[in-house]
Amino acid sequence: MTVHHEQLLHEQRHDWTLDEINALFALPFNDLLFQAQQVHRAHFDVNAVQVSTLLSIKTGACPEDCKYCPQSGHYNTQLEKEKLLEIEKVVEQAKAAKEAGASRFCMGAAWRSPRDKDLLLVEEMVRQVKAVGLETCMTLGMVDGEQASRLATAGLDYYNHNLDTSPEYYGEIITTRTYSDRLETLSNVRDAGMKVCSGGILGMGEDAKDRSALLQQLAKLSPHPESVPINMLVKVPGTPLENVEDLDPIEFIRAIAVARIMMPQSHVRLSAGREQMNESTQALAFLAGANSIFYGDKLLTTGNPQVDRDRALFAKLGLHPEKRETCQSEATQAARLAQQAQQQVHAERVSELAVDASV
């Protein structure tokens, strides 16, 4: 089964069938990458890569049982638990990330969902990181409509909540929340006016059909997620997936290419697992349509190529960080001033809560 060339290049489709997706995966590798390159060039500067930095603002003791995650309280991974970081430390890290070339700062907390007093602190983190001049992203677990609205009002640009795998395989990986829970959170985020960051993890023992079904679910979201992280499983000792069989890197690259074709205007992020990838595999991922990475020494709790190594790879491949548009209209500037006034109103309460922020 084939898809019309013009559809591949331009149309944001939400009705991809599994037969169509499987047909893309089955293409000869060179043909698949050629199609992905055409789609990429129709929508992006192919030599520009969006650069994000990820900081864990609260580590460990998560009540969820995600079998891949070292932060789950269900497994003994020797991970040291940490309380919610102080706002000043988060801002310090954000400034360092901007200096290193990041345009987006992502903050993650190991929660099932945020509590009210924690959310107040998170809102202040968003305001202060935005004041540094970075886009903001949060991953805090499940959020309801009111929580999503509060985050949007604070100025949060992106909310990350991955689908992880196919609906059919999901129960093999997580039992403490449902697939529909995840979709509901993404709907709440979109309804609040924020951008969606959602992808999955490959190499968790899933079949090829599960990778097709995952991408089908992501493409069903309307509009498509603005950011689609494609993660390679990082096998952490102590988790149930520590001995799962490795996924062939070529199959991983195929998934990057199919994601690029199916979601032509999304940033497809080469995410977790880069520490285990050689330069050739990463270069193929960029050729296949990946145009976003996490930059820095860590992804929450797992390793990531160091900044100097990334800079050297970018130089070798002729890539450069994507520039963030920083020009502001008068309306945007007025909104910023109003937001700053609101910050002062909340400052005293936030200061009191920061003293007793708990795990």
List Cβ neighbours of 132 (8 Å cut-off, separation of 6 or more).
91, 94, 95, 98, 105
Of the listed 104, 106, 182, 260, which one is catalytic?
A: 106
Q: Annotated catalytic residue: which of 127, 177, 197, 274?
A: 197
C-beta of residue 2 within 8 angstroms of C-beta of residue 35: no
The position carrying tokens 């020009």 is 327
**Cross-strand partners of 292:** 50, 269
327 catalytic? Reply is no
Q: Is 182 a catalytic residue?
A: no
Phi, psi values for residue 270, rounded to 5°: -80, 105
Rounded distance, CA 105 to CA 138, Å? 9
Q: Tell whether residue 327 is among the known ligand binding residues.
A: no
62 is catalytic: yes
**Which DSSP state fits 325?**
P
Which residues are paired to 303 by β-bridges?
298
Are 51 and 103 in contact by the 8 Å Cβ rule? The answer is: yes
**H/E stretch holding 290:** none
Q: List Cβ neighbours of 359 (8 Å cut-off, separation of 6 or more).
A: 58, 60, 61, 81, 82, 83
97 Cβ neighbours under 8 A, 6+ residues apart: 53, 55, 105, 134, 295, 296
Burial (CB < 10 A; 0-12, 13-18, 19+), residue 226, is middle
For the chain, the maximum distance between any two Cα atoms, rounded to a whole number of angstroms, is 61
The active-site residue, picked from 127, 137, 177, 260, is 137
Binding-site sequence positions for [4Fe-4S] cluster: 62, 66, 69
Active site residue ranges:
62, 66, 69, 106, 137, 197, 269
Binding-site sequence positions for [2Fe-2S] cluster: 106, 137, 197, 269
Binding-site sequence positions: 62, 66, 69, 106, 137, 197, 269
